[in-house]
Amino acid sequence: MRQAEIKRKTNETDITLSLLLDGEGAAEISTGCGFLDHMLTLFAYHGGYDLKVSCKGDTYVDYHHTTEDIGIALGRAFSEALGDRRGIQRYGFMILPMDEALILTSVDISGRCLLNFDVDFPTEKIGDFDTELVCEFWYGFARAAELTMHIKMLDGSNSHHIAEGIFKSAARSLSKAVLRGRGDGVPSTKGVL
């Protein structure tokens, strides 16, 4: 079974997270931030992952530390659950419409960290959630998961739809990349990722 459990405790957050890559899309999410709970629930469902997240963070300051640290914990869980990465597809992409928003994500489970985030949110907030934190989440995720990720907004005028499209598109891109079906080898001519 490709699964991992991560515990991450800092002076700003206390996170327990479990991930089953080959799940059914079930989610139990409690981050202290309603919007982030919503995004992670969508992520689990559209990726087909079973995801549990519990976070106690300094949300009285804002949602920055909670969002960034959950991204890091989820990235670590992905990396651990994938193990030696043998037999995975490695690459995945999706162009996903979410009403007027159109989001492209592409991932390479390469062992090299890069996030190219080309999104221009029309508002600074979605409710009480700072839209700039969407990038912080995915940067933490990409760095901890050691993968290359491109997220590009092709169209959109509603910040909620754009953010939702990003989480759904990323989930579906990642689910394609982690699929098995390439035999037992590492998906690289180098022999390592």
Count how many residues are written for the chain: 193
Tell me the per-residue pLDDT of 94-121, one tens digit each, with 9 for 90 and over. 999 999 999 999 999 999 999 999 999 9
CA distance 37 to 44: 11
Q: With H, G, I as helix, E, B as strand and everything else as coil, classify residue 113.
A: coil
Asked if residue 189 has pLDDT above 70, the reply is no
Q: pTM higher than 0.85 for the full model?
A: yes
CA distance 43 to 173: 11
Listed range (61-65, 126-130, 164-168, 182-186) with the worst mean pLDDT? 182-186
For the chain, the C-alpha Rg in angstroms (whole number) is: 16
The pLDDT of residue 29 is 98
Tell me the per-residue pLDDT of 43-88, one tens digit each, with 9 for 90 and over. 999 999 999 999 999 999 999 999 999 999 999 999 999 999 989 9
**Do residues 2 and 81 lie in contact, with contact meaning Cβ atoms separated by under 8 Å?**
yes
CA distance 107 to 111: 11
The pLDDT of residue 182 is 66
Count Cβ atoms below 10 Å from residue 116 Cβ, excluding itself. 11
Q: What is the CATH number of domain 3-177?
A: 3.30.230.40
129: left (phi over 0), alpha (psi -120 to 50) or beta: beta
